[in-house]
Amino acid sequence: MKKLTNWYFKVLELVIVLCLAAMCLMVFGNVILRHFFNSGVNIAEELSRFLFIWLTFLGAIVAMREGGHLGVDILVSRLSGRPLFFAVLLGQLLVLACCGVLLWGLLMQHELNVANVGLVTGISMSIVYSAAYLCAVSIGLLTALNIARLVSGRMSASELVPSNYID
């Protein structure tokens, strides 16, 4: 299972790199075209926006795994023992609830996104926003796994709070 998870995140990182590289090439190419030839490629602007959406959602998944999201630990960093455990558990449950709300909202908007298309590319917005489905499910699974490991004692609460204050 660990090999599969590592493979999944390597694929995500590769897709992020490809999205960033494609965005840079398209935007730079359009800048050159506009500056020197007074023209541009309209499809490149729309595609770079769509790739930025994918880059953001996929980056959120990778950041979740690495503990790279911003957090306010002013209270949690001063806790220890059972209060720390319950504070971390509450935080993880809130993240899981947010993933559920995001997924529910995406499902409510699904038919609207299927009907809408990009003006230049004609790509269905459901394809563009499918990265959000992947994000909600992936972060939800990571959080559920954190909760299970926390409750079963296979992970300490301090492992989920990246801070300089916790021993």
Model confidence pLDDT, tens digit, residues 146-155: 999 999 988 8
Tokens of residue 128, six digits: 């563009």
Q: Domain coordinates of the chain in residue numbers?
A: 2-160
Task: Check residue 163 and give its pLDDT.
Answer: 59
Task: Check residue 148 and give its pLDDT.
Answer: 93
CB 60 within 8 A of CB 131: no
Per-10-residue mean pLDDT for the chain, 167 residues long? 89 96 94 90 91 95 85 76 88 94 93 84 88 95 93 84 56
CB 46 within 8 A of CB 118: yes
